[in-house]
């Protein structure tokens, strides 16, 4: 009987019945699923380089090489690189591999208290540089393609500015550049992290790092959850319930949860630089950010730049990253704006056909 | 030249008498001064002189009654600078420090635990107050959300949600917007700052107490470990800089590059979905 023709009582009963049926179906699915079903970052890869807690992976080719120059993917420290290969059908890395790209990815590991003093300069001059040098030696090449994500994009920007000879093409995704443009579009849900960080004094941040050694992953999880209160409140009730219609959805949900829960601590000194020098003082776009005594000047980036952003990114609002166009020293600057939010760029169904292909096509013209 | 006085008291008395002579030279009584000062004035001067002299005599007597310092004879000097007088087990300048090194800190020095705990209690109380203030702001926002939602449902202009799910979605949308609005307010930002700050302060005070125990029982403290790790991080940076200055290394010479490669097996998830 069509819903519209039912009485209110019959409609309520039908809803109640559907709800219970869905719950029972979900329970069956959850009982059936095992840990191995929700593995993430499962693309075939090998460890090719390791230093301290940092690991460089090279991914196994799945198609004939279409680009001569490999791509090194550098994620940030707030979250883990595994998001780029969440599952087989939602994986930027697999999409690139399928298009014939030789892919490397760096995993910063799980920093502990002993990594408290690691700073941006250690990641840029040290680990990232070591990874690039390794790849250059292996191929051999004088420069490679560098793909930075979020804070990894900031690492990549610094690296490209300080080591211009080592980067052939620079690709950035969801990367903050002008940290004070968070309200340029006047969207209330955008840039809360920017606002809250500016609300802290530098000494508050120092005390926070001193007390914890690092920027605790749990604190960042709390901050991100608070930035989207509606989604956070509904996730484990109506959100989870929605996935009980379809096992694919449930698995996707669980894998996302697995990635979210795996949030590393951010090394203290680098966190202090991120929060004070970048978020508060906006030194990157001002050309004042210093690493080991060298100033990062974005105008020194003269290689082609592809900047991918999410149009509804509440963490890195579009204008904060689009500011890069005017800052870099190259005319070969391209933007791709994708629908959706911050992580959606990598894990949404819609972006799967666009992101990997967009990067590949852009690189192919500059290979 | 008169004989040099032997003691400080003699010296003092002599100098005072000399001062007296200089101030009040002896004059025959009843003789007017060259300026024709009347006799009454002379009497006043004489009275003052007498009073002053009396005072000096009393002081001289008092000083003479004090302990008589022995003259600085060679024997006295030897005694004064004798090593055992300086380094003995008495209240020498270094004894307290040496005793602490040998015996460890005294309880009175080590366990000002009550004061440390009191400070911790105060910081915990401050933190709880700041957390409560933070929650009060959020609670106010929740109340505002409920009011807005109730008005929206009661409004005849807006269609009532037809299903429980539609109702839940509308509620979540209202809560989302209202909470974000509150979270952008100055009051929220300041309350969040205070909460984080007082939590950090509390944690650091806990560390102080823990480190006092570590000190007493020969356990390295967090602060010491931090200092050591900082040194390691700085040394690594210096090493990297030196390596860079030495130019690029061949692949085979790199410590990790020559290691056998480790394959990370692809894990196929049985229930995973292929596109």
Q: Is A233 on the interface with B (CB under 8 A)?
A: yes
| Candidate from A122, A192, A207 with C-beta closest to B200 | A207
Candidate from A23-32, A144-153, B23-32, B100-109 with smallest mean pLDDT: B23-32
Q: Residue B4: pLDDT above 60?
A: no
* In a domain? residue A218: yes
Can you point out the beta strands (E) in chain A?
Answer: 45-51, 54-59, 71-74, 85-87, 90-91, 103-107, 144-149, 167-173, 290-291, 294-295, 305-310, 333-338
Give the tens place of pLDDT for each residue, B167-177.
889 999 999 99
A183 Cβ under 8 Å from any chain B Cβ = no
Cβ-based contacts of A45 with chain B (< 8 Å): 263-264, 266
**Calpha distance B202→B111 (Å, rounded):** 19
Question: In Å, how far from its chain's centre is CA B28?
Answer: 71
**Is A195 near chain B, with CB under 8 Å?**
yes
What was the pLDDT predicted at B120?
94
Q: Is A3 within a domain?
A: no
Best of A230, A258, A291 to disrupt the B interface by mutation (most B CBs within 10 Å)? A230
Q: Which residues have C-beta within 8 Å of that of residue B212, sequence separation ≥ 6?
A: B110, B111, B113, B116
Q: What is the pLDDT of residue B106?
A: 62
User: What's A329's DSSP letter?
Assistant: S
Tell me the CA distances in angstroms from B220 to A140, B115, B210, B233, one per residue in order: 47, 23, 11, 19
Model confidence at B87, in pLDDT bands (50, 70, 90)? low
pLDDT reading at B68 higher than 90:
no
Are residues B241 and B135 in contact, defined by beta-carbon separation less than 8 angstroms? no
More confident residue, B269 or B130: B130
Which residue range is the domain that position A63 belongs to?
40-364
Cβ proximity of B232 and A52 under 8 Å: no
List Cα–Cα distances, A251 to A50, A86, B272, in angstroms. Answer: 32, 11, 7
Residue numbers in A near B193 (CB within 8 A) = 199-201, 204
Tens of pLDDT, residue by residue, chain A (367 residues): 454 567 777 877 887 888 888 888 888 889 899 989 999 999 999 999 999 999 999 999 999 999 999 999 999 999 999 999 999 999 999 999 999 999 999 999 999 999 999 999 999 999 999 999 999 999 999 999 999 999 999 999 999 999 999 999 999 999 999 999 999 999 999 999 999 999 999 999 999 999 999 999 999 999 999 999 999 998 888 889 889 888 999 999 999 999 999 999 999 999 999 999 999 999 999 999 999 999 999 999 999 999 999 999 999 999 999 999 999 999 999 999 999 999 999 998 888 889 999 999 999 999 9
According to DSSP, the residues that pair with A291 across neighbouring strands are A294
Contact A210, B200 (CB under 8 A): yes
In the residue annotation, A150 being an active-site residue is answered as: yes
pTM for the whole structure: 0.79
Asked, for residue A354, whether it belongs to a domain, the answer is: yes
Position A13 in a domain: no
- Would you tell me which residues 151-170 of chain B have a C-beta closer than 8 angstroms to some C-beta of chain A? 163-165, 168-169
Specify if A19 maps to a domain: no
CA distance B139 to B83: 75
Domain count, chain A: 1
The reply to whether B238 touches chain A by the CB within 8 Å rule is no
Residues of A in contact with B250 (CB under 8 A): 137
| Pairing label, strands B262-264, A45-51 | antiparallel
- Annotated catalytic residue within A131, A136, A150, A158: A150
User: What is the predicted ipTM?
Assistant: 0.91
What does the domain layout of chain B look like in residue ranges? Answer: 1-29+39-68, 109-242
Residues facing A219 on adjacent strands: none
Report the length, in residues, of chain B. 275
CATH number at residue A52: 3.40.50.1820
Residue A5 resides in a domain: no
A236 in any annotated domain: yes
Residue A69 lies in a domain: yes
Using alpha carbons, select from B198, B40, B60 the residue that is nearest to residue B131: B198
Task: Find tokens 């890395």 and name the residue.
Answer: A93
Q: Does B68 touch chain A (CB under 8 A)?
A: no
d(CA A218, CA A211): 14
Specify the pairing of strand A71-74 against strand A144-149: parallel
């Amino acid at each position: 009987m069509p819903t519209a023709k039912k009485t209110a009582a019959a409609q309520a009963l039908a809803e109640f019945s559907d709800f219970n049926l869905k719950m029972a179906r979900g329970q069956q699915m959850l009982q059936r699923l095992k840990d191995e079903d929700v593995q993430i970052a499962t693309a075939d890869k090998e460890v090719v380089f390791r230093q301290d807690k940092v690991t460089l992976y090279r991914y196994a080719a799945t198609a004939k090489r279409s680009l001569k120059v490999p791509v090194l993917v550098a994620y940030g420290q707030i979250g883990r690189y595994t998001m780029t290969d969440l599952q087989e059908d939602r994986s930027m890395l697999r999409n690139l591999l399928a298009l014939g790209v030789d892919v490397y990815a760096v995993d910063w590991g799980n920093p502990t208290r002993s990594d408290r003093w690691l700073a941006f300069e250690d990641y840029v001059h040290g680990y990232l540089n070591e990874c690039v040098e390794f790849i250059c030696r292996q191929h051999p090449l004088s420069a490679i393609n560098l793909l930075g994500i979020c804070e990894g994009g900031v690492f990549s920007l610094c690296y490209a500015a300080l080591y211009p000879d080592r980067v052939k093409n620079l690709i950035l995704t969801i990367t903050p550049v002008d940290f004070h443009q968070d309200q340029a579009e006047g969207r209330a849900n955008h840039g809360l992290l920017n606002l809250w960080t500016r609300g802290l004094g530098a000494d508050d941040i120092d005390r926070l790092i001193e007390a914890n050694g690092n920027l605790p992953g749990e604190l960042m999880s709390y901050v991100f959850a608070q930035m989207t209160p509606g989604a956070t409140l509904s996730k484990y009730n109506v959100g989870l319930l929605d996935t009980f219609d379809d096992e694919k959805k449930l698995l996707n949900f669980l894998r996302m949860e697995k990635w979210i829960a795996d949030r590393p601590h951010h090394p203290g000194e680098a966190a202090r630089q991120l929060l004070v020098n970048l978020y508060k003082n906006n030194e990157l776009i001002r050309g004042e950010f210093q690493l080991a005594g060298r100033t990062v000047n974005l105008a020194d980036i003269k290689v082609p730049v592809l900047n991918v952003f999410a149009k509804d990114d509440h963490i890195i609002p579009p204008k904060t990253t689009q500011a890069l166009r005017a800052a870099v020293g190259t005319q070969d600057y391209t933007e791709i704006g994708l629908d959706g939010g911050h992580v959606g760029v990598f894990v949404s169904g819609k972006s799967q056909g666009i992101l990997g292909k967009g990067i590949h096509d852009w690189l192919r013209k500059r290979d | 030249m008169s004989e040099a006085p032997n003691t400080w008291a003699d010296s003092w008395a002599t100098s005072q008498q000399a001062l007296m002579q200089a101030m009040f030279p002896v004059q025959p009584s009843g003789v007017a001064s060259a300026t024709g000062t009347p006799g009454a004035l002379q009497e006043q001067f004489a009275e003052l002189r007498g009073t002053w002299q009396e005072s000096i005599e009393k002081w001289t007597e008092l000083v003479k009654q004090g302990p008589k310092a022995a003259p600085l004879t060679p024997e006295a000097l030897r005694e004064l600078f004798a090593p055992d007088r300086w380094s003995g087990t008495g209240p020498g300048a270094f004894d307290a420090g040496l005793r602490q090194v040998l015996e460890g800190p005294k309880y009175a020095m080590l366990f000002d635990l009550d004061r440390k705990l009191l400070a911790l209690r105060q910081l915990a109380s401050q933190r709880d107050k700041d957390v409560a203030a933070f929650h009060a702001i959020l609670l106010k926002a929740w109340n505002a959300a409920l009011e807005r939602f109730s008005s929206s449902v009661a409004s005849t202009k807006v269609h009532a949600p037809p299903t429980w799910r539609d109702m839940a979605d509308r509620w979540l949308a209202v809560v989302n917007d209202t909470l974000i609005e509150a979270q952008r307010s100055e009051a929220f930002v300041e309350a969040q700052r205070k909460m984080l700050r007082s939590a950090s302060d509390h944690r650091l005070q806990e560390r102080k107490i823990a480190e006092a125990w570590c000190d007493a029982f020969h356990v390295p403290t967090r602060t010491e470990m931090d200092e050591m790790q900082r040194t390691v991080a700085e040394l690594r940076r210096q090493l990297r800089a030196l390596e860079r200055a030495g130019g690029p290394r061949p692949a085979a010479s790199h410590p990790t590059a020559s290691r056998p490669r480790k394959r990370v097996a692809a894990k196929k998830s049985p229930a995973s979905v292929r596109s």
